Chain A
Amino acid sequence: MIGVENLRIRFGDVEAVRGISFAVAKGESFGIVGESGSGKSTVLRAIAGLNRNWEGRILFDGEPMAPQRPRSFFRRVQMVFQDPYGSLHPRQTVDRQLAEPLMIHGIDGIDTRIVRALDEAGLAARLRFRYPHQLSGGQRQRVAIARALIADPEVLLLDEPTSALDVSIQAEILNLLADLQRARRLTYLLVSHNLAVVTHLCPLIGVMQAGEMVERLTVEALRAGHITHPHTAQLRRLALELEEV
């Protein structure tokens, strides 16, 4: 469904992504973990069509994508940003931001869909007419998730989607994502620094460091410690330490 071949991205002299490749089949989930600054968000933004300066190939549904995407692409592929404040419009209410993708794509039943999207994201109905600055951090993040889901996308690009959520709400969102994937064969590309979160949703994981994907492995291999790269081993060791409260 989504493929990346030898993707390279630079900003001036910063080589943020140095030739990485991976593929995610329809209805599957692929997780990306790795060092801060290693290029994870940059990869997602390029796939989402938000950054047009890249080299290599980005495939969607088997077809190579041009840097400029057709409008239909933005209905089929949605992204949840790492920084929800940055992705929400500061002067629009939650209601307006949820209605917008529906209007753009000419989808009916706006009111019903908004009510359902808020409920699925665990947001109280009273938050519907608030502005982003009137919400807590976790509430903002859930609005961003609700907005990504509201127009029935096929692919979700999720950048640290639960990092601002307390673990009870995180559990609800992860269950929701799993249910939606089963029901609608959604494809997920998930970035998170939390190995437990990534392995919960994704059977395949890529580990990034300094713009390269230094290792790709299955969850089973990761659990069993069948690891080739020291960065993966280090991430695993620390995740294990933290699991023993």
Chain B
Amino acid sequence: MQLEIEDLHIGFPGPRGFAPAVRGVSFAMGAEKLGIVGESGSGKSLTARAILRLTPPNAVLRAKRLRFDDIDVLSASPRALGAIRGRRAGLILQDPKFALNPVMTAGEQVAEPLRLHKGLSRRAARAAAVEMLAQVRINDPAAVAHRYPHELSGGMGQRVMIAMMLAGDPELLIADEATSALDATVQAEILRLIEDLVSRRGMGLILISHDLPLVSHFCDRVLVMYAGRVVEAVPAAELRKSRHPYTQGLLLCPPSLMRPRARLPVLARQPDWAEVA
């Protein structure tokens, strides 16, 4: 799997003129773990959706290049896109409960890709789905498989979504804040599972997260987004040594368990931060 994005722009026509949201994003990746961090509203989710052309209908999308292997995403037929979505590439959305089908049980939703893409029988798919739920560390997976999305806790919803996407054996997994409601123990287990798929099956991963320590521990490379641009790309292990003032500022903001502070530092955002470091 090879993903290439060059000069991606996404914007929205509105009553007060055209509002740009993504302004010239470029990156390429293969079977690696790429982290994307950045300001809320900086265009991370829209960029992720553009890869599968799942941007909102009124969004205006253009790019010099947007390729998933040999498929030109911008000109691809609905059929070619169908082959990517949920099959070659899985997108785990930021709002899992909203993304899940409200009238299907958790088990049915995980079983579906197993039946459609892997050709398992209904019964085998159901058993495999329970097994997938266990792999994402859901307690009592056989019982949870029978629950509907509104009967799941926030973290369970996220894990059902992860299980559903992994069940399709994707070549690229895009996880948009996919573990943000999970405590560190479960998060660690799920990342181990993903790690295994990356190293054994050569899956590529885009991990969008605001959790800098997590991204720097887990990913190979990190893109930092600000105001619709990638302002910095650094090896994950060197996130601490990043040069961009926004990234440096970010590293100071999180509260700490062991070093409490009465007040957290906040960023005095500068207009020139939207420029690339």
Contact = CB atoms under 8 A, between A and B. Distances in A.
Interface of A: 11, 14, 33-37, 40-42, 82-86, 126, 133-139, 142, 159-160, 163-172, 174-175, 178, 193, 195-197, 199-200, 210, 219, 222-223, 234-236, 238-245
A240 B258 contact: yes
Given A34-B183, A200-B264, A168 B250 contact: yes
A166 B257 contact: no
Given A167-B253, A167-B254, A138 B40 contact: yes
B20 to A, nearest CB: 13
B184 A242 contact: yes
Interface in B215-272: 216-217, 239-240, 249-251, 253-258, 260, 262-267
B213 interface: yes
B255 A37 contact: no
Interface of B: 12, 16, 37-41, 44-45, 56, 94-95, 97-98, 138-139, 143, 151, 153-157, 159, 176-177, 180-186, 188, 210-214, 216-217, 239-240, 249-251, 253-258, 260, 262-267
A136 B41 contact: yes
Nearest to B269: A168
A45 B180 CA distance: 20
Given A37-B156, A139-B40, A193-B182, A164 B257 contact: no
A199 B185 contact: no
A238 B184 contact: yes
Given A82-B181, A166-B37, A239-B257, A36 B216 contact: no
Contacts of A159: 154
A195 B40 contact: no
A242 B213 contact: yes
B17 to A, nearest CB: 11
Contacts of A83: 95, 97-98, 154, 157
A242 B214 contact: yes
A82 B239 CA distance: 29
B25 to A, nearest CB: 15
A170 B182 contact: no
A195 B255 CA distance: 9
A242 B154 CA distance: 22
Contact of B155 (A36, A42, A174, A223): A36
B181 A242 contact: no
19 contacts: A35-B186, A36-B182, A37-B155, A40-B153, A41-B154, A82-B181, A138-B210, A165-B210, A166-B40, A167-B210, A167-B212, A168-B266, A195-B184, A196-B255, A223-B257, A234-B185, A235-B185, A240-B258, A245-B213
A14 B151 CA distance: 10
A242 B138 CA distance: 22
A193 B181 contact: yes
Given A36-B156, A168-B267, A160 B181 contact: yes
B257 A245 contact: no
Nearest to B144: A37
A228 B201 CA distance: 42
Contacts of A142: 40
B47 to A, nearest CB: 11
B260 A200 contact: yes
Contacts of B185: 35, 234-235, 238
A174 B180 contact: no
A171 B253 contact: yes
B39 A166 contact: yes
B151 to A, nearest CB: 7
Contacts of B260: 199-200, 219, 223
A64 B44 CA distance: 46
Contacts of B249: 168
A200 B255 contact: yes
